[in-house]
Structures are given as C-alpha cells and as structure tokens.
Amino acid sequence: MTQISGFERAFEPRSIAIVGVSRSKQPRHFGSSGLSILRALHHSGYQGCLYPINPNATEIDGVRVYSSVLSVPDPLDLVIITVPAVAVPQVLEDCIAAKAMNVHVCSSGFAETGEEECKKLEEKVKEIALRGGLRLLGPNCMGIQVPRARITTFDDVPLVHGPVALLSQSGGHAYRFLQYGSTVGVGFSRVISYGNAAVMDVTDLLEYIDSDPETRVICLYLEGVRNGNLLTSMVKQINLVKPVVVWKAGLTDAGARAAASHTGSLAGNRQIWDAFFKQTGAVRAGSVEEMAEVSAALVSLPPSLGKRTVVISGGGGNNVAAGDICAEEGIQLPPLLAETKNELSEFISTVNQGLTNPLEAPSLFLSPSQMNRAMKLLDADPTVDMVIVSLMMAGITRKGIDVADRMLDCLANIARGKVFHKPLVITLSDPMTAEAVRYWQQIKQAGILWYPSLRQACRAMSRYASYYEFVERAGGCSPADL
Amino acid sequence: MTQISGFERAFEPRSIAIVGVSRSKQPRHFGSSGLSILRALHHSGYQGCLYPINPNATEIDGVRVYSSVLSVPDPLDLVIITVPAVAVPQVLEDCIAAKAMNVHVCSSGFAETGEEECKKLEEKVKEIALRGGLRLLGPNCMGIQVPRARITTFDDVPLVHGPVALLSQSGGHAYRFLQYGSTVGVGFSRVISYGNAAVMDVTDLLEYIDSDPETRVICLYLEGVRNGNLLTSMVKQINLVKPVVVWKAGLTDAGARAAASHTGSLAGNRQIWDAFFKQTGAVRAGSVEEMAEVSAALVSLPPSLGKRTVVISGGGGNNVAAGDICAEEGIQLPPLLAETKNELSEFISTVNQGLTNPLEAPSLFLSPSQMNRAMKLLDADPTVDMVIVSLMMAGITRKGIDVADRMLDCLANIARGKVFHKPLVITLSDPMTAEAVRYWQQIKQAGILWYPSLRQACRAMSRYASYYEFVERAGGCSPADL
C-alpha cells in the first residue's frame, strides 16, 4: 500500500471536500453527483466540516462554496471528486498542493470506456497519485459508507452500524448491499467502492480493513485483481480469523466482456479462481444477496456445530421441496434420534405429520408451548447441529393476528438462546406480498436470523458451516475466540 | 381413466356437497376444513347450490345442513369430503348410492402416514371407488380452483381466470401457485390437487385437461407416478401442442423420504426422469415459482425466435452480473450489429455506457423518447431475438415520481407491441421493499411480462425458448397455430 498511516482518516474524516458540486443533480447519471453526495452527507447527520467546491458558485443549499481545494482554510481528511474526467488531473495536483492525501474519484470516463484517450487519462491520474503519494480510490467509483461516523455518499440508504465490511469494485453493488443487507439483519463497519482500482487495489484495501477492529466479516466484490498471488496469500491468512466472503464476477465470457467495459478489469479464468477458493477457504458467493445472507449468518450465529439439520415445516409439498433443497445445498437431514422422536410423538400427532426430517408439524406453529417443548428436545439431541424453521405466515395469520404475534414472540425468545442454544434460522415460505414484507420486518426487528426462502437459508447455512469446517481443518483460531 | 364423461361436471358443478362441515375451523390443520371450504365457496361468489353435510347440525353460517349426501334432494355434481379418515368409506358408499360420482377426498391419514392400518384404509377407499365407478381425487388433497366457474376450495387466494392449468399432488403447492402465479401475471383454467392419487392418477387427469379448450399450458407437480411409461407417451404427444411444465420433486434421498411421508409416493430415480424430460421435451421446473414464471412467458409471449438476447440495464456492476447470469442460464448475448450500434450511439453517450451487450444505458430509463428509439432499432435488428429490460426503479424514482410513471407508461406501450414486436420482459433489480412491491404491481397491471429478478427472467426465458426449439425440431404444430 502507498501509505496506510493517514488512510484511516478517510473513513473518520473531520473534514470533507466535494469537488464538482453544481446546483442541479446531473440527470444523465444514476450514480453519485456532487450535489447528491453533499445532500447524502447532510441527511446522514455527518458532524464534520463540508466544503463543496465549484469555481462558479458561492453558495449551494445554504453552504458556502469554495473555488478550489486550495482555497479551503482547513486540512482536508477526504476529497471526493465528481468533476468530468478531463478535469480530474488538475484537481489531483491541487490535492497534492493542499496536502489532502485521501481522494475518492467518482468521475467516470477512464479505462472502462475502452477508448485510448480515456485509458491515457487513467494512466495520467495514476502517475500523479503515485508521484504525490495520494491514497486514491477509483476512478469510476461511488464512494463510501461508514455508519458509525455517519458518513455516506449513497443517498437514500439506511445507515446501519455493524461488523460487516464490503470492498466493491461496483458502486451499484455497494448500494444494493447496503439496501438488501439491512433487510436480512446485516450492519456495516465500512462499505468502500473502489471502481477501476487504478491506484488502491483490493489488496491495499484488504490490508487496511483487516486492521479495523470493528470489522468481523469482510466481503469482496471483484471483477479483476492486479496481483492475484498477493490476494490469495492475504485472504488465506485473514480468512482464518475474519471470514472473507468473495463474489468474483465476470467468470463467463459475457460477464468478462461486461467487466472490461465496467471497470476496465481483466476478469481471469474460472480454474484460477476455483484454486483461489480451494486454497484460501474464502466463502464463495454469487450475488450481492448471497454475500449479505452468508454474512448475516457469520456475524449473528455462534460457531457452527456441523451440517446436521432439522427443518420444521408446516406443509406437505413444502416438505418434499425442503428435502430436495437441503440435499442440493449440502445441508444434511439425518433421521431424528429414536428418543427425540418418542418424546416429540407425545404431543405431535402423526396423522399427516410423520416424524421424519423435514419435520412436518403444523400444530407447532399454532402453539408456543409445543414449539418451546420441541425446540428444547432438539437442543438436547446431540445429533442435531442446527434448526431451520420454515414458516408460512399465511397459514398462521388465518388463525388470527394474535396467534401469529404470539408465535413470533415465541420464536424471538427461542432465537435469543433462552430455549435453544444452537444455530437457528427462520425462513418464510409465503409469497412476496406487502403483508409478507411486514412480517419479514417484524421477524428482523425481533433479532431473529431469517431469510426470504428456504433455498437462500440453506445456501447461506451450508456456506457458514463449511467455513467453520475449513477453519477447523486448517487449525486456525475461530472467530468466536476473538 | 375410469369414466371421463361426467368428470367435467366436477369443475363446473351446479351443486356441491361438503361432507364434514363443523361450526369451528379445526385449528389443528393448515389445510382445508369443511367450514373453510364452505366459506371459500361463499366468498368466491359460487352461483350453484351448496349442501353442507353434518349429522349433528341443522344450520351453519345461515345455510341449511343435511345429515348425509343421501338426504340431499338434488343431484350432486361434486362431493368434497373432509371427515376423519375412518369415516370416509361410509361416505363413499353413500355417494355411490346417491349417484354422486365426482368425489374429492381432502381427509388425510392414509398411506402417507406409513402406518399399516392407514395404508389398509386407503386400499379400502380405492376398492369402493373402483367398484362404484367413483371419479375420486385424493385422498389427502386440498381440492380445486376453477376461476371462471367461481369455484375454489382455497380460502384467501384470488380467482384469476386464464389459460394455465395445474395438476398437483400437493395442495400447499397448488395454493402457492395460485398466490404467486397471479403476481407474475398467470391466470388459471383449472388448478387441481390430487394428493395420494389412490384412484385418479396424473395420467387420468392429464387426459381430461388436455381436452379442455381453455387450457393452453399444463403444469404438473409430481411426487410419484404409477404408470411412468403411459405418462411419458402422453406428455410426449400433448407437449407438442400444449406446453407441459413439470416439477418432479423428491429426486434427492431426503426429498424422496419426504415424498413417501407426504403422499405415500415412490419418487423414482433421477436417471429415469432425465430420460423423461429428454424424450418428451417437457419444460423442467424446480419450484412453484419456476412453474409459474415459465408459464407466464409461454402464455403471454409470441412464439420464441431464439435465444439471442439484448439486456438493457442501468448499472455497471449489474451489467457484469447480467453477463454471468445470462451465460449460466443459457441466454445468448451476441454483440450488437455494427449498424444498430452506430444508430444507438447517436443518442446514447459512450462515457461509462459502452455499447456492449448487456447494454449499460441509464439514460434510456430517464427518457421515454430515447427508450422508444432504442427499442425500434432492436426491433429492426435481425440478430436480436428478444429483449430483457433490467430496471432499477430506485434509480428512476430518485429523479421524481413523474419520471418513473412516464417510463412505466412508455414500457407498457412498448410491451403492447406498439413499438417492439418481439418477446420483451422486464425485471426489477431493486431490493424487496414495500415500495418495490408497489412498482411490481404497477408493472403487472400494465400487462407487461415481468420477473422479480434477472436470474428468474433468464431462467424462464431460456426454458420458453428451449420449448420452441424442441417443438420445431420435433416438427410439432406450434401453440401459436391453435
């Protein structure tokens, strides 16, 4: 890394300059304009000093505007650049002169366009940054979010503090990770989009984020990487202590072409990346959603005991699908222990509710006392590593809102480890309706780990359990020891 | 089939008896109690005569109750049985005596329990039905829905008339198919759950449904089937005229065990079913959602031209993911024709919007006139078979609700074939929020084929296109000729 000391100020800045703030949001772009970043920082409640830069304005949104970073009277911990690509080199020279060393270049129009001129411009940006010692993120990125410091360049996403970091070449994916992650109960330490990685590459950022005590799980969205060997050896080491979740995109031909035109990245081939995952034990993900889902399990569950799982479900056909889904995702469904079966059969009727696994037991969903009793039995059963409860809220609410509320209270109590001490996950098998979204929010607010579907739950839980298996085989220290 | 003539009355009955209607919904079950079926038929606006049967009551919900099917004064087109399993044989004898030949047995507690006594009870049911010539669905099923006749045994699901039929061993999946299907724009001709298939098996039902002129796509949810060879030869023939979509569950060990305890089915092995799909060309699905999604494409799109697709998206990282997803799902993304590219570049800026495929073109989503122009060019391009538009509504609404509304109007107009005449699909890349659900509903109401995610869209479109490829190779008549 160029210089790590001083870099942490970029994520807890006392002062931020935003270069290229005009009076209107540029309607051509979906991404971050200077004005939208200024407003996002206002909305988020950022407490430091903000310096919008625009040589042709004196005031925007009631804030004094400066003509250049050089005219700002205070030291700048972070400079966010949103001017057109051709104007970026001069701003960088100004940053060097102003000793503002942390720079995020959100402007696009560089190597990702594939055009010679634009590639040369990126080379020039790189040369200036290296010469001046700038810690430069980008170009072609969408900035950062640090909820604890109330910093965000992403407008209209919630700031949820927590232990999950994301390093993403795509600003759009970073944005979606913030949106979706918070719906499945993920909170964020630092979310950093780094675009074309002209200067700071993922290995530099990984060195920094590894040293951040708040971060317990690190997610990476990669299109390409310059130094694959370095990344492999870093992830190999870090992953034994902090799980590293990696979504490597662009592994198909069509994806690789898109990666080239998105961040100018060389995507690499599938065999090399398969070897990367095998060697490092990094947790593989295939989308923003999958990164968030497995992160949720890794941060909110105790260390995995294994993959032997009991699925409790309410419906017959769902049970058959559950068997297939678990098998396909590598979740084991051993038969119940004879003793557990006997005790369960004392209060679970066997008519249409054979005591198999998945356990079809609709009656449990209507009786908190029966649900508690069943969970106590599964807690005591040494052949059960975890439990997945597949809820169909529509089936429960039909019996009355109070029945549904009591069951959610009961499950929240169980999930808090009052009744059941092993990993527990809830999934909803309801279709996507506004009512279902309301229940999802209730479940999330109750602090229960949940997923929108059994498929997503099984995939996340299988990866979570595989992570612990890898760490145990590798003899690393467990995240739980930290 | 036992006797097909007279069977159609079961789905357009002038009179229905419901045997086993008590004053309270039995809280133990999620499935259909007699009372909930009676109420579902009241709510749905069924116009025929309803006869609740209960020897211990004279009136329920203001409706006169009869003591047995024998005491009903009119001919019964359909008898729905919900009494406990042991009481079913006597009710069947009564049906024979009353010449009520169409019987749905919703009661459970038969072969699916795995218990000897219960298996014997199912044998007895079968023997009575065959002796008396009853067309018996079940036992252990959840009834039917026929929206045009305003008949439903499923409470609180919408009645949406349309050309898609479902034959399902699982009542729960039938219920979810009705719920989810309507959200992706599927309407239903007949949805029939047939549980343990003791008498009427899928091949009998298929013979009936094939002859139904309203049905244009047939979905099957199978756990097991008695006569695999017959099914194969029937599907082989029917599929060339009406697409047959099949979800065969229980192909993993865990799934097969669950199938045995759900409908007492022998699930069969994977190789046999692979051969079934290869020989018949049936459309393979892996969930209720996938059945509904591919059905939506098959009924609402013109015949496929092929798999060469242009994806229009708004965001950079999404574009890379789109490339990977298309490749993984078998959707081809050829480069744009030079001529098309030239014309598009007249109004689409290339800065951060390289004219590759997937086509990253956020500006199109903010300008109906540009979107129209682009779609006209793709319509004229002979190398483009279909278009998938990947919308991020959050990016559009940020520019104002009116901008979003104008874009939805524009897309609705395009989808109606006013501008673009090839298959067109919309997907949303927004996270699942109440706001997103609202947009989904707007898109659906506008009559546009849409899917909640690009993955789902690509999977459905790839299967839809494969279906037409199979039919063309097999030289069958196309559904479009019907």
Residue A427 has pLDDT above 50, yes or no: yes
> pLDDT at position A433, please?
64
> pLDDT at position A174, please?
93
**Average pLDDT over every residue of B333-337:** 92
Q: Which of A255, A186, A251, A249 is nearest to A222 (CA)?
A: A249
Choose, out of A183, A310, A352, A440, the residue to mutate when testing the contact with B (most B CBs < 10 Å). Answer: A352
Whether the Cβ atoms of residue B40 and residue B152 lie closer than 8 Å to each other: yes
Cα B322 to the center of its chain, rounded Å: 26
Residue B191 has pLDDT above 70, yes or no: yes
- Lowest average pLDDT, out of A273-282, A352-361, B332-341, goes to A352-361
> pLDDT at position A306, please?
97
> pLDDT at position A1, please?
43
Q: What number of CA atoms fall less than 13 Å from residue A207's CA on the CB side?
A: 13
Taking only the tens place, the pLDDT of each residue in A453-479 is 899 999 999 999 999 999 999 975 555
| Distance separating the N- and C-terminal Cα atoms of chain A | 26
From edge to edge, which strands make up the β-sheet containing B151-152? Answer: B151-152, B144-146, B188-193, B161-168, B217-222, B244-248, B283-284
Residue A438 has pLDDT above 80, yes or no: no
As a whole number of angstroms, the distance between CA A96 and CA B259 comes to 69
> pLDDT at position A75, please?
95
Query: Between the ranges A277-281, B258-262, B343-347, where is the mean pLDDT highest?
Result: A277-281
Could you please report the per-residue DSSP string of B124-173?
HHHHHHHHHT-EEE-SS---EEEGGGTEESSTT----EEEEEEEES-HHH
Residue A353 has pLDDT above 50, yes or no: no
Contacts of residue B363 in chain A, CB cutoff 8 Å?
A: 28
Residue A252 has pLDDT above 90, yes or no: no
> pLDDT at position B28, please?
40
**Average pLDDT over every residue of A97-109:** 95
**Average pLDDT over every residue of A20-39:** 71
Q: Is B351 in contact with A254 (Cβ distance < 8 A)?
A: no
% pLDDT > 70, chain B: 92
* CB-defined contacts A:B, below 8 A: 249
Taking only the tens place, the pLDDT of each residue in B59-88 is 988 889 999 999 999 999 999 999 999 999
Taking only the tens place, the pLDDT of each residue in B80-114 is 999 999 999 999 999 999 999 999 999 988 988 77
Per the listing, tokens 């939805």 go with: B408
Residue B436 Cα, gap to closest chain A Cα (Å): 9
Tell me, what amino acid is at B162?
G
Q: Given pLDDT bands bounded at 50, 70 and 90, which one contains residue B482?
A: very low
A167: number of Cβ within 10 Å: 26
Q: Is B352 in contact with A287 (Cβ distance < 8 A)?
A: no
Cα B277 to the center of its chain, rounded Å: 18
Return the SS3 of A66. Answer: strand
> Hey, which residues 19-38 in chain A have their CB within 8 Å of chain B?
25, 27-30
Question: Mean pLDDT for chain B?
Answer: 89
**Residue in B255, B324, B437 closest to A437 by CB:** B437
Q: Is B250 in contact with A323 (Cβ distance < 8 A)?
A: yes
In sequence order, the β-bridge partners of residue A59 are A64
> pLDDT at position A443, please?
84
Residue A481 has pLDDT above 90, yes or no: no
Residue of A nearest to B400 (CA): A27
Per DSSP, which regions of B264-410 are E strands?
283-284, 309-313, 359-360, 386-391
As a whole number of angstroms, the distance between CA B410 and CA A200 comes to 42
Residue B5 Cα, gap to closest chain A Cα (Å): 30
- Lowest average pLDDT, out of A17-26, A410-419, B432-441, goes to B432-441
**Average pLDDT over every residue of B224-247:** 95
> pLDDT at position B27, please?
41
The two tokens of residue B87 are 């009481």
Q: Given pLDDT bands bounded at 50, 70 and 90, which one contains residue A352?
A: very low
Q: Is A366 in contact with B263 (Cβ distance < 8 A)?
A: no
Preceding peptide of A358 cis, ω within 30°: yes
As a whole number of angstroms, the distance between CA A195 and CA B84 comes to 65
Q: Is A333 in contact with B254 (Cβ distance < 8 A)?
A: yes
Per the listing, tokens 């060097």 go with: A96
Contacts of residue B317 in chain A, CB cutoff 8 Å?
A: 168-173, 221, 223, 249, 262
**Average pLDDT over every residue of B397-425:** 87
Residue B405 has pLDDT above 80, yes or no: yes
Q: Is A85 in contact with B170 (Cβ distance < 8 A)?
A: no
As a whole number of angstroms, the distance between CA B423 and CA B415 comes to 8
Give the ipTM of the model, two decimals please: 0.82
Query: Between the ranges A104-108, B174-178, B462-466, where is the mean pLDDT highest?
Result: B462-466
- Lowest average pLDDT, out of B170-184, B343-357, B420-434, goes to B343-357
> Hey, which residues 269-288 in chain B have their CB within 8 Å of chain A?
287
Q: B470-476: list long-range contacts, CB under 8 Å, 24+ apart.
A: B470/B239, B470/B281, B471/B239, B471/B240, B471/B281, B474/B240, B474/B281, B476/B239, B476/B240, B476/B241
Q: Is A319 in contact with B258 (Cβ distance < 8 A)?
A: yes
Q: Given pLDDT bands bounded at 50, 70 and 90, which one contains residue A270?
A: confident
Residue A4 has pLDDT above 70, yes or no: no
Q: Is A183 in contact with B316 (Cβ distance < 8 A)?
A: no
Contacts of residue A316 in chain B, CB cutoff 8 Å?
A: 112, 140, 170-172, 262-263
> pLDDT at position B30, please?
43
As a whole number of angstroms, the distance between CA B399 and CA B390 comes to 17
> pLDDT at position A30, please?
43
> pLDDT at position B479, please?
52
As a whole number of angstroms, the distance between CA A258 and CA B254 comes to 39
**Average pLDDT over every residue of A116-127:** 95
As a whole number of angstroms, the distance between CA A384 and CA A242 comes to 26
Per DSSP, which regions of A39-185 are E strands?
49-53, 59-60, 63-64, 78-81, 102-105, 135-137, 144-146, 151-152, 161-168
Residues contacting B401, CB < 8 A, separation 6+: none
**Residue in B114, B351, B429 closest to A354 by CB:** B114
Residue B1 has pLDDT above 50, yes or no: no
Q: What number of CA atoms fall less than 13 Å from residue A31's CA on the CB side?
A: 30
Which is more confident, A40 or A430?
A: A40
Q: What is the dihedral of CA B325, B329, B335, B336, to 10 degrees?
A: -90
Residue B301 has pLDDT above 90, yes or no: yes
Residue A38 has pLDDT above 70, yes or no: yes
Contacts of residue A223 in chain B, CB cutoff 8 Å?
A: 317, 320
Residue of B nearest to A363 (CA): B28
> pLDDT at position B464, please?
98
% pLDDT > 90, chain B: 65
Residue A154 Cα, gap to closest chain B Cα (Å): 12
Q: Which of A298, A150, A302, A284 is nearest to A215 (CA)?
A: A298
Q: Given pLDDT bands bounded at 50, 70 and 90, which one contains residue B353?
A: very low
Residue A86 has pLDDT above 50, yes or no: yes
**Average pLDDT over every residue of A30-56:** 88
Query: Between the ranges A121-135, A357-371, B464-478, where is the mean pLDDT highest?
Result: A121-135
Taking only the tens place, the pLDDT of each residue in A172-184 is 899 889 988 988 8
- Lowest average pLDDT, out of A94-98, A117-121, B6-10, B238-242, goes to B6-10
Q: Which of B329, B382, B273 is nearest to A254 (CA)?
A: B329
**Average pLDDT over every residue of B464-469:** 98
**Average pLDDT over every residue of A300-326:** 90
Residue A193 has pLDDT above 80, yes or no: yes
Q: Is A172 in contact with B315 (Cβ distance < 8 A)?
A: yes
Taking only the tens place, the pLDDT of each residue in B201-230 is 999 999 999 999 999 999 999 998 889 999
> pLDDT at position A478, please?
52
